[in-house]
Amino acid sequence: MLGIFWNFSPFLLHRCIARFICSLALLCLSAPPAVAGPTPSLATPLEWRTLAPGLELGTATFNSSPHSTEGTLLAMLRIAPSHFRFSLHMASEQGKALPLAGWGNAHGLTAGINASMYLQDNITSTGYMRGGTHVNNSRVGTNLGAFFVAEPKKPGLPLADLLEASDPTLHERLEEYNVVAQNYRLIARSGRILWSEGGTRTSIAVVGKDTQGRILFILCEEPLTPVELATLLQSLSLSLGTVMYVEGGAQAGLFFSGLATAASAGSFPASLAPRQDANAPFSILKGRQSFLLSKGNTNAPLPNIIGIRPRQE
């Protein structure tokens, strides 16, 4: 290696060293900071409203920050599986993809959220997905650590749950449920945040379970990194266990109907009022006041969603 340098003239050697030092200086000047900025704080605390027995809506708004949009929301539904039935709605089974509210309209859903990220064919889930006997993707993703399961085939099991890939009896447990959707773990059952720091800030949809067995559909419209969102969720005293990332960016959305008297009384937060833009997260579904939250095109078709309906209608 030293022989290579001895073959250079002193002038050329000095010039190479100077170029290297200049290049290194420019790289340091142009490189982004290694540490991300602080997570935006909430402008309003998380506030809960009962929509129906076993169904609560939690909302909060963010303070302005360099990457926030005025009025951006953190919204979540807290669902008691004893009151609501979970279902998978898949384009591979139905024949076509629908917008989130379109799935709700077609199947009379009380609420819905993305079921999983999906492949470039715009049909197939990134991980294992099965609804009843219909299989959307039979392959269990080795790097996808969370499984949402619901509607057990036999009594005595939780009506809905979040399983982890590390569970020793995972495959047996998956076969015990009619609804199965796999994706990345954002937060482990132990409380450990599993995502790496950094990354692009986007809107994010996640599904979680708390220590009381309730399922949470969560949409953060505020553009955050997954770690920022996970840190925020853990600061809100939600008693969360496993949390599964289901979508990020323009495709992430949350739909729900205003079922309770609170809807007709107009007591929803002002941040859920219709917005004057092309992608206003508000719609009227079957004559009922309904809300569709998304930072993207609300008419964009989604291939796979998780929906809920009352167990006794």
Element holding 104 (H helix, E strand)? helix 100-107
Q: Is residue 124 part of a domain?
A: yes
Which pLDDT score, from 0 to 100, does residue 190 have?
95
Q: Is residue 218 part of a domain?
A: yes
Structure tokens at 199: 């990354």
Q: Is residue 93 part of a domain?
A: yes
Nearest to 206 by CA among 83, 112, 79, 113: 113
Residue in the structure block whose two tokens are 């027995």: 53
> Given the DSSP bridges, would you call strands 84-90 and 146-152 parallel, antiparallel or unpaired?
unpaired
Q: Which residue has the higher pLDDT, 56 or 298?
A: 56
Between CA 77 and CA 56 the distance in angstroms is 6
Least confident of 55-59, 90-94, 180-184: 55-59
Between CA 137 and CA 127 the distance in angstroms is 7
Nearest to 244 by CA among 201, 296, 188, 191: 188
Q: How many domains, in total, are found in the chain?
A: 1
Which pLDDT score, from 0 to 100, does residue 269 have?
54
Structure tokens at 92: 């591979």
Which pLDDT score, from 0 to 100, does residue 287 have?
40
Q: Is residue 34 part of a domain?
A: no
Encode pLDDT of 56-71 as tens digits. 999 988 775 555 555 6
Between CA 145 and CA 186 the distance in angstroms is 9
With 0-12 / 13-18 / 19 or more C-beta atoms within 10 angstroms meaning exposed / middle / buried, residue 9 is exposed
**Is the alpha carbon torsion for 98, 99, 104, 106 positive or negative?**
negative
Order of strands, edge to edge, in the sheet holding 185-187? 47-52, 55-61, 73-79, 215-224, 202-210, 240-248, 185-187
Burial 247-282 (b: 16+ CB within 10 A, else e): bbeebbbbbbbbbbeebeeeebeebbeeeeeeeebe
With 0-12 / 13-18 / 19 or more C-beta atoms within 10 angstroms meaning exposed / middle / buried, residue 188 is middle
Encode pLDDT of 221-238 as tens digits. 888 999 999 999 999 999
pTM comes to: 0.81
Backbone angles phi, psi at 78, to 5 degrees: -110, 115
Encode pLDDT of 249-288 as tens digits. 999 999 987 554 344 334 455 555 444 333 334 333 334 4
pLDDT surpassing 80 at residue 113: yes
Q: Is residue 232 part of a domain?
A: yes
Q: Is residue 6 part of a domain?
A: no
Question: pLDDT tier at 116 (50, 70, 90 boundaries)?
Answer: very high
pLDDT surpassing 60 at residue 37: no
- As a whole number, mean pLDDT of residues 83-100 equals 96
Which pLDDT score, from 0 to 100, does residue 71 have?
60
Q: Is residue 202 part of a domain?
A: yes
Average pLDDT over all residues of the chain = 80
Q: Is residue 142 part of a domain?
A: yes
Full DSSP string of 106-138: HHT-SEEEE---B-TTSSSBSS-EEETTEEEE-
Which pLDDT score, from 0 to 100, does residue 89 have?
98
Least confident of 32-36, 81-85, 112-116, 144-148: 32-36
The phi-psi region of residue 24 (left if phi > 0; otherwise alpha if psi is between -120 and 50; otherwise beta) is alpha
Q: Which domain holds residue 131?
A: 47-310
